A and B are shown apart, each in its own frame.
With several copies, the nearest count.
Chain A
């Protein structure tokens, strides 16, 4: 068995960020967030804590909805979804996200798929975790070219949700909506502050005591590599087998 895999640190970090949620929704093509949610569920179950519900969009196996594709949004609007993940082709220092494209809208080049549900879910899900593995200046920009969903809202705008953290392949940031802006919380093993600063197109707060993103302990790692990977394989077979190959290499 190898050392802790970088993605295992991401998964365990997501588990920490989700601590306390009752119901988390995960996108169809988000195996790392799904694994983080499954690890939380397994840990809570082991500890005899209240259960964690996970809805995986587009999955038949983990589809707890029966009212069509509108139900996720209704459910979020009812306050029944505590956490969700959003990414973005661009994310800026105010946590604005862009899922539409680069350059002058509408003639964006490249054009990305579109905003999906972000322009709604970002407002009504209390704990939105921004997750993007690629940590580069083309992703983390000073100002997004198109605001699919804004990171913060003016006073008086109905907003029960928003970003709490940004997790990348290099580091973990928290988000302070009063400033607004990101604060570096920890660097993942093998990554340095200078490297992160160069890879980030926006300014972020950088406390002196920034530490290392913790690796999961032995017990957690065993749970992740065993039961959680089995569960994950049902919905994301290719990701799970790739992880297993790399962990056992």
Chain B
């Protein structure tokens, strides 16, 4: 499968689950999604968003973002996100990290909701009419507790070091990637490489493997997280993220930046 073919699975109006900076962002898919052009996307950040979210917003493809935060980390605020929020062009469903995880866990378990402590009295809760507060039925006295409804994203997209020829994907200890795949209808994965060894063939590699059962498509994309890093593979290219942060302060600067080829990433090979 190639990136373009995978991007074709994304239809306008779909909800996409995307991982946090350090967990394996498929930056390789970002340009394929922009080229594909399916808009009105609802992004679900697990549990925060960064460069990929900012670029999809900058390209005008995003209708809403559910997230605990969007930022470029050391490079500061996410410029296209911040401007779109200020201009009211996107809806932000502000959450808190464990609420994002709770929503996925509910879907993983086939449950309609998952409880979560905290939140009571916050404006995060006040602006989430889709969340509910009940009294804990096990408590003797009043004990308000929030219920987070299940999130079932249409498509989860992430990048991982490797997959085997059976479609199993090695995610190591980044188990939020498994949580995304369990919850999502489809899961699209880019990887650095395909290996011949069966990842489920040994207990050692199986421990960090997302089984093919949960994986819809895989495409090879060397350095596919760039300019983000990938654990155990390569470090974040902070200079490039700073370059983006500076360029994307204006819509024009963003357009110019995106018109350049992705310098730090090898082109994906035909497969």
Contacts and interface: CB of A to CB of B under 8 A. Distances in A.
Interface of A: 23, 28-29, 53, 58, 60, 63-70, 73-80, 99-101, 105-124, 146-150, 153-154, 156-158
A118 B96 CA distance: 7
B244 to A, nearest CB: 16
A117 B98 contact: yes
Given A68-B177, A108-B85, 9 more contacts: A29-B74, A65-B173, A66-B173, A69-B46, A77-B109, A100-B123, A106-B92, A114-B67, A158-B143
A120 B121 CA distance: 11
Given A108-B86, A122-B118, A157-B120, A23 B68 contact: no
A35 to B, nearest CB: 18
B107 interface: yes
Given A66-B209, A68-B173, A150-B122, A120 B94 contact: no
Interface residues of B, number: 73
- A-B pairs with lowest CB-CB distance, top 10: A77-B110, A114-B69, A68-B175, A113-B71, A119-B96, A120-B118, A113-B69, A73-B98, A123-B118, A68-B176
Given A29-B73, A156-B142, A116 B124 contact: no
B69 A146 contact: no
B20 interface: yes
30 contacts: A28-B73, A65-B173, A66-B178, A66-B200, A66-B208, A67-B175, A68-B173, A68-B175, A69-B46, A70-B98, A70-B101, A77-B98, A77-B117, A78-B182, A80-B213, A101-B85, A110-B77, A110-B86, A111-B82, A114-B71, A115-B94, A115-B96, A116-B96, A117-B47, A117-B98, A119-B122, A123-B117, A124-B118, A156-B144, A157-B121
Contacts of B85: 101, 106-108, 111
Main secondary structure of the interface of A (DSSP, over half): loop
Given A119-B96, A120-B99, A111 B86 contact: yes
Nearest to B20: A69
A68 B23 CA distance: 8
Contacts of B81: 111
Contacts of B255: none
Given A60-B231, A68-B179, A112-B77, A106 B127 contact: yes
B81 to A, nearest CB: 8
Interface of B: 20, 22-23, 46-48, 67-71, 73-74, 77-78, 81-82, 85-88, 91-92, 94-99, 101, 105, 107-111, 116-127, 141-145, 173-179, 182-183, 200, 206-214, 231
Q: Is the interface of B mostly helix, strand, loop or mixed?
A: mixed
Contacts, number: 188
Nearest to A101: B85
B237 to A, nearest CB: 16
Nearest to A120: B118
B97 A120 contact: yes
Task: Tell me which of A116, A119, A121, A153 has the highest count of chain B C-beta atoms within 10 A of its own C-beta.
Answer: A119
Given A79-B110, A147-B123, A111 B118 contact: no
B80 to A, nearest CB: 11
A116 B92 contact: no
Contacts of A121: 118
Contacts of B142: 156
A74 B108 contact: yes
Contacts of B78: 113
A105 B125 CA distance: 13
B82 A157 contact: no
A58 B23 CA distance: 9
A58 B122 contact: no
Nearest to A79: B110
B144 A99 contact: no
